[in-house]
Structure 1
Amino acid sequence: MYGHLKELRESLGLTQEEFGKSVGIAKTTYNNYEKGERSPKSDFWISVAKKYGVTIDYLMGYSNDPDKVGKENTPTPSVDSVGVLTKDEASRISAAMDQMNEEGRERVAEYAEDLAAGGRFKKPSAAELGEKEA
């Protein structure tokens, strides 16, 4: 289950179907998100946060207060919960993104995708690492 997603929906008095529809997704998709069986993409979190006036940190369970994102008492996500990012990287990225509007956040995501797709900054695959060691 993702953070406070269900809590938010229930506080609004909405069914899963109504909540999903309000952010443009099907009930089954939303149900999978709420149960933690599927991982939402960033546009889902942004849409919910904007529509309902809460922070993404709050929705994902990194903060218990939707108004305290970016403040000292907001816990930094653990490495396990953010995948390949270190705590420092996650904290720096979160702080920078918190200062951006939706267009800025989208441009950051596009830039990161472009960097990953290009050759210079792309992490080598396991096969490539094996070739270098041989």
Structure 2
Amino acid sequence: MIEGANNVLTKRLQELRINHNLTQEQVANILGVTRTAYNMYEQGKRQMDYNALVKLAEHYNVSLDYLFQRTDVPFLNETMEEDELDFMLQSLSLYRDIKYKYK
């Protein structure tokens, strides 16, 4: 894994864990690793294997593309109807417009 990709992943791992009100210990239990091992994933000192990445993506209901910041849309398209996805994307666009306008 390249250095930049690892930094992107560590940021997303932390954000998702915090947004889901989980501790590192709880995520470690989901993955079947120690808290120390998971902490090293979040710090970018250890690389997650493919199976662990898939398990977390499934747990958080996000795509691997979202984990690696290839997209900023955390929702899995196939879990949403087309009108719901359109609404989410329009809402996100509106939010970003307002956010940058008033920064």
Q: TM-score, normalised by structure 2?
A: 0.60
Residue equivalent to 1:58: 66
Evaluate the alpha carbon distance shift between residue 50 and residue 31 of structure 1 in structure 2; reply closer, same or farther with a 3 A threshold. Answer: same
Secondary structure of the residue aligned to 2:16 is helix
Shift of 1:44: 0.7
Judging by fraction of residues, say which structure has more helix: 2
Contact 1:9 1:15 in 2 (8 A): yes
User: Using CA pairs below 8 Å that are at least 6 residues apart, which structure has the higher relative contact order?
Assistant: 2
Residue equivalent to 1:8: 16
| Uncovered stretches (5+) of structure 2, i.e. residues with no partner | 1-6, 78-103
Evaluate the alpha carbon distance shift between residue 38 and residue 14 of structure 1 in structure 2; reply closer, same or farther with a 3 A threshold. Answer: same
Contact 1:45 1:56 in 2 (8 A): yes
Asked if 1:49 corresponds to 2:57, the answer is yes
Equivalence map 1:84-99=2 (5 Å): none
Q: d(CA) in 2 for partners of 1:23 and 1:57?
A: 19
Divergent runs of 4+, >6 A: none
Asked if 1:40 corresponds to 2:48, the answer is yes
Shift of 1:48: 0.6
Shift of 1:68: 6.3
Count the aligned residue pairs.
69
Max radius of gyration: which structure?
Answer: 1
Q: TM-score, normalised by structure 1?
A: 0.47
Residues 47-71 of structure 1 show CA distances to partners (whole Å, capped at 9, x for unaligned) of: 11112211111112222112367xx
Instruction: Name which of 26, 38, 47 aligns with 1:30.
Output: 38
